[in-house]
Amino acid sequence: MLVMLSRYEPCGLTQLYSLRYGTIPIVRRTGGLADTVTPYKPSTMRAKQATGFHFIEASADAALSAIMLAREIFKDKKAWHEMIVAGMTSDLSWTQVAKRYEEFYRATIGEKASPP
């Protein structure tokens, strides 16, 4: 596990390296950390999208709660492995970001997205 206690993180590569190499990140939900780590929840697990753990408040208690949750999930080897695979195979490239931006832009101006 990788624990990032950042109060502010505009982008960050550490969590991306963590995901790529199979280390589950535990991050404070801020900036790029919130954008790149999909938090563990029943819905994200069902969708096989969970890649780590978030905590919101910048406090030791909030961080400890997220770490304790991660520790409990670690005991479920199947779920933990699914999270590792989701992180290692997630596409966080600029291509994906550009597609989402284009979809948002077109929706804002009322156009349909162009075909791929």
Rounded to an integer, what distance in angstroms lies between the CA atom of residue 67 and that of residue 71?
6
Give the H or E element holding residue 55. Answer: strand 53-55
Rounded to an integer, what distance in angstroms lies between the CA atom of residue 101 and that of residue 26?
26
Residue that has been written with the tokens 């770490």 in this structure: 67
Domains of the chain in start order, with CATH, are 2-90 (3.40.50.2000)
Rounded to an integer, what distance in angstroms lies between the CA atom of residue 74 and that of residue 9?
26
Instruction: Beginning with the edge strand found earlier in the chain, give each strand of the sheet holding 2-4 in spatial order.
Output: 2-4, 25-28, 53-55
Q: What is the pLDDT along the chain (116 residues), one digit of tens a residue?
A: 999 999 888 777 999 999 999 999 999 999 889 989 999 999 999 999 999 999 999 999 999 999 999 999 999 999 999 999 999 999 888 888 888 889 899 889 887 655 55
